[in-house]
Amino acid sequence: MRLGRLLLLVAVVLVVGVGAIYFVSTQNRAEPLTPEQAQATTEAQTTVPVVYLIQPVGRGQQINMEQLSVQQVPLSEVKDVRDLYYESPGEVAGKLARADLTQGEYISSDMVVDSLDSSDLGSEHASLIPVDFVAFPVPVNRFSSVAYGLTRGDRVDIIVTLAFVDMDTQFQSITPNYTAGVISPGSNLISASEGASLTLGEFFANQVAQTSSGGTSSIQGRAELDALLDTQFYYVPSEAQRPRVVSQMIMQNLRVLNMGTFPILNADGEPINMATPTPVGEEPPPEDEAVAPAPPVIEPPDIITLVMRPQDAVTLNYLIYTGARITLALRSAGDDSIIPTNAVTLQYLMDEYQIPVPVRLPYGTQPRIDVLVDPVLENDAEDGSAVIQ
């Protein structure tokens, strides 16, 4: 009996041991890689030579061999733009930097030029635009430009506000439409006077149809039944259709290339002094007569240039020409996060901030207020009569 129990215990131990060995072997067995995974692994293990700078180089300066070195870079990091990078320092030495280049930066073909010819080097502004991006101007005022607090290098978000109205799909005009009565053609359209050689009826008989009314006095309304009087009434709007307004942040993290108008440069890259022309009818002052220069007049900027994707530039171009309101919001320095936002409508405002619709009460305030007016402060009042106490 003891021998049977011992044999049974040994059998259980053997079965458990074999199962444990099988489990460990199956867990350590690597699953076969897909072709995409195999290619990614190969690219991560394969390196290619890429030329980089060991010293900074300024815009327009010539790059020499002492400023260059080669580093082995995983193919997975540069495979999409490998053709833009150089593999040998001899291919870069002697070229000129299109923009200020920093130490440790990989050198690509769009960073260097062969000569200082303006057609190759381009403007300083163009050298600050990354590849596959464009610079696009946006009109601004003091409100939309964060009170003129923007400068080159800042990052901004764009908020767009649109006003929507209902339209007739065929006329492409704002509803409601105007109504008009149509008179069918015929000889009895208008009574002809006796003795006339050509009656009005004969003249209008050749017409297709005529409208007898129409315009602002015939706005299309709607019929409603008054339950108390059991009578149909025809209602027309008391005013033009009110637009429905919506605001949304459509673009984020755009870089400011310039605030205001760019200076106009000559062939040597120096600013051109735009002299003020002499008014018509006035003689210019003599050359030997000393004339005190007029103090420069600083005009507030009315335009800003932003760096963005080409599709974003097309979108902004459409919004500008269709009358949308564009407002810029300044981002914190170094913040490149993309935060989703909700479009704001009147319904969103009421729901999100728990704004109740005021009930109709049997009493109210005096005087009557139809339009909200900003309070006049003591320093703003011209005669001091309208002062907030």
The answer on 206 and 141 residing in a single domain is no
Q: pLDDT of 83-107, one tens digit each?
A: 778 888 888 888 888 777 888 888 8
Mean pLDDT of 115-134: 72
pLDDT digits 0-9 by tens, 12-52: 667 777 677 766 565 555 556 565 655 556 655 678 888 88
Pick 57 or 278 by higher pLDDT: 57
Q: Is the dihedral of CA 169, 170, 175, 176 positive or negative?
A: negative
- Domain assignment present for residue 194? The answer is yes
**Residue 369 within any structural domain of the chain:** no
Residues 50 and 15 in one domain: no
| Residue indicated by tokens 């033009």 | 240
- Asked if 137 and 219 sit in the same domain, the reply is no
CA-CA-CA-CA dihedral for 258, 262, 266, 272, to nearest 10: -130
Q: Are 157 and 335 in contact (CB under 8 A)?
A: no
Asked, for residue 343, whether it belongs to a domain, the answer is yes
**pLDDT higher for 117 or 111?**
111
The pLDDT of 255-269, averaged and rounded, is 82
State pTM to two decimals.
Answer: 0.64
What is d(CA 161, CA 45) in angstroms, rounded to the nearest whole number?
51
289 belongs to a structural domain: no
- Give the SS3 label for residue 214: coil
| Main-chain phi, psi angles of 22, to 5 degrees | -65, -40
81 and 114 co-located in one domain: yes
pLDDT band at 389 (very low <50, low <70, confident <90, very high): very low
Half-sphere exposure of 135 (CA within 13 A, CB side): 17
Which of the listed residues 70, 90, 122 is the one where a domain comes to its end?
122
Q: Which of 194-198, 227-231, 360-364 has the lowest mean pLDDT?
A: 194-198
pLDDT tens figures, 171-211: 999 999 998 887 776 655 554 455 555 455 555 555 666 66
Q: Is the pLDDT of residue 366 over 80?
A: yes
328/213 same-domain check: no
Residue at 173 is within a domain? no
Q: What band does 322 get if pLDDT is binned at 50, 70 and 90?
A: very high
Give the separation between CA 301 and CA 282, rounded to whole angstroms: 30
- Under DSSP, the state recorded for 148 is T
> Could you tell me the CATH number of the domain that includes residue 71?
3.90.1210.10
Tell me what pLDDT residue 232 has: 93
8-state DSSP, 167: B
- Answer yes or no: do 304 and 159 share one domain: yes
What is residue 246's three-state secondary structure? strand
Q: Which of 103, 122, 141 is the last residue of a domain?
A: 122
Is 377 contained in some domain?
no
User: Can you tell me the distance from the alpha carbon of 64 to that of 50, in angstroms, rounded to the nearest whole number?
Assistant: 16
> Is 279 inside a domain boundary?
no
Lowest mean pLDDT among 88-92, 257-261, 287-291, 339-343: 287-291
Averaged pLDDT, 359-382 = 86
Which residue range forms the structural domain that includes residue 186? 182-235
Q: Which residues pair with 6 in a beta bridge?
A: none
Contact 121, 60 (CB under 8 A): yes
Q: How far apart are CA 291 and CA 294, in angstroms?
A: 9
The average confidence (pLDDT) of the chain is 80
- Count the domains in the chain: 4
Do both 193 and 218 map to the same domain? yes
Same domain, 267 and 355: yes
Taking residue 25's Cβ as centre, other Cβ atoms within 10 Å add up to 9
The lowest-confidence range among 19-33, 121-135, 263-277, 294-308 is 19-33
**CA atoms of 327 and 150, how far apart (whole Å):** 13
Would you say residue 383 lies in a domain?
Answer: no
Percent of residues, the chain, with pLDDT higher than 70: 69
Closest CA to 81 of 135, 133, 126, 132: 132
Considering the domain architecture, whether residues 337 and 248 belong to the same structural domain is answered as yes
Does the pLDDT of residue 255 top 70, yes or no? yes
189 and 320 in a single domain? The answer is no
pLDDT value for 132 = 85
On whether both 333 and 261 belong to a single domain, the answer is: yes
Are both 141 and 200 inside the same structural domain?
no
pLDDT band, very low/low/confident/very high, at 129 (cuts 50, 70, 90): confident
pLDDT above 50 for 387 = no
